[in-house]
Chain A
């Protein structure tokens, strides 16, 4: 099954990947290893998951003001998520992408979703993001048809 939602692009761009989702906010400082892309906040439900290249969906960033710097480092090192989806406007993630554009002419899409659209997301969904902020979500059932 697939469906389409419209998000608000804070930083627009195209991306496609597996959704890595949590309803708990994450501070990248102390929570994200920019060398490997691993989520290392041992109190976070996604602890131990690798977010590099995935569509990371979190309600908002938490705590430290160094989150932006860690995300910028991971973008430079190629270990950043392919895109980040949040509820509402999270400036910490958006800023990293804006500065990356100034510094090395690269961005990752940062998109703001309504709470209802965010709640429909599931871990393992595939998301395809367009420049306009339209997101096509394919649920796992369709992606991996059960072996019959």
Chain B
């Protein structure tokens, strides 16, 4: 499993994808940091995430769309699937690599916290909590993105499916009020943003992640029979 994670990480940072992801994310964070916090002279660090969460919709698919689609298109999945590694190991290996990238970018926002701490007195606990919530949300996005990548051999389609799903999860609650209970983004807004941990929302995010990891494994296992 680690072999796969290691190779995937190498891939993220040898190709521009990893840098592009972190770069766009940090630029967006800085922008919202300026607009939401500096402009209003706020000291609530989580405000920054309130807006930058929307960026995830567009950049996580960038990271995940190639995961399985590219391997399938190039035929390299043959190498993976005929190796003694199990499908679970392969999926988890790839998932972990993307999670590492996402976590790096989330942790880099501590930089903004440091700037804020220099000028004012933000609450450390709530700030860390918002970073935690943000990380959980990104990870669940990665999980769905990975699933989307596993069902097609076209990276673009995988990306579009992910973006579409994230957009729905973003806008649906404003149309159907009940949907907010299930929306990932609202799970994040609902608790982590205001400095609380809601068990329901944490469970929602984690179970969503696990669910799509399992879906990915099943998809790949099933393909053995159809292929």
Chains A and B are bound partners: no
